[in-house]
Amino acid sequence: MQIRPGIEMASLSDVGCQRENNEDSLSYWEPQSEAEFRQKGRLAVVADGMGGYEGGQEASRLAVETVQDVFDQEPAADPRGALLKGFKTAHERIRKYADEHPQFQGMGTTCTALALNDLHLYFAHVGDSRLYLVRGNTILRLTRDHSYVGKLVESGVLRSEEAERHPQRHILTAALGAGSEVEAEAPASPLRLEAGDALVLCTDGLWSLVQELEILEIVAGRVASAACAELVKLARERGGPDNITVQILRVSGNGASGH
């Protein structure tokens, strides 16, 4: 895996303390050619599968691979369009796989993907995996959870602190592979990053156990690899009932694509 100068990247995926299988998947990708890299930048994806351990594992793997393949093949001019097409294609591939393997009916996956070109951040998102931006001493969640409990928070029925312990927090309202249509969320225009910003992609196995201010403190105070290890350790110490996956990309001082 190639990582060109311009960012510090680390990732870690852990089965947790109670599961036998890891149904999470993640990837980091850069184009091979310099010219294409200058046009496309970098791609990072995290997915959390569901539907029995083999079905979930397969769904998250298909999502990550498909988003990467489509992003690789699409023209560089429209990163947002490439991400959305990747999500749509992944949704169709997972549905087709479930049709061909009836034992995996009900398989699906969350997916959160970001494209980073120079200091421009594009992202797309389905489900309840999250993308955070850590800037200085602040943390901002860039995604909203497509979940039953997420809807309750948005409508003011629940406070967000209550949501993280709610017994039905795992019920998703949208996932790749579930339902006939899926609408990924993707902001219309890119977010401009600053030197020193850190992006944190993670599954609910992390954020349901480690609070945002704890994520902020750990990510702000450590290099990316040490922060990943510390976050996973904390989630495991708190019981780790689910798979735990985190990926951190920190933009260095000279811009995100190193040119």
Is residue 55 within 8 Å of 127, Cβ to Cβ? Answer: no
162-198 pLDDT per residue, tens: 877 777 777 899 999 998 889 899 999 999 999 999 9
**pTM for the predicted model, two decimal places:** 0.94
Number of domains composing the chain: 1
Inside any domain, residue 105: yes
At 136, which CATH number? 3.60.40.10
Instruction: Show the tokens assigned to 218.
Output: 């750990």
Distances (CA, A) of 192 to 27, 78, 203, 255: 23, 16, 24, 11
Residue 5: is its pLDDT beyond 70? yes
Inside any domain, residue 77: yes
pLDDT of residue 53: 66
Q: What is the C-alpha separation between 25 and 46, in angstroms, rounded? A: 6
Q: What is the largest CA-CA distance in the chain?
A: 50
Inside any domain, residue 1: no
87-125 pLDDT per residue, tens: 999 999 999 999 999 999 889 999 999 999 989 999 999
- Select from 14, 220, 216, 249 the least CA-distant residue to 115: 249
pLDDT of residue 256: 40
Q: Which structural domain range is residue 178 located in?
A: 7-251
Position of tokens 């196995």? Answer: 205
Average of per-residue pLDDT values in the chain: 93
Q: What is the C-alpha separation between 234 and 86, in angstroms, rounded? A: 33
Q: What is the C-alpha separation between 48 and 128, in angstroms, rounded? A: 9
Inside any domain, residue 256: no
Inside any domain, residue 144: yes
Q: Which amino acid is at 44?
A: A
Inside any domain, residue 56: yes
Residue 140: is its pLDDT beyond 70? yes
Inside any domain, residue 59: yes
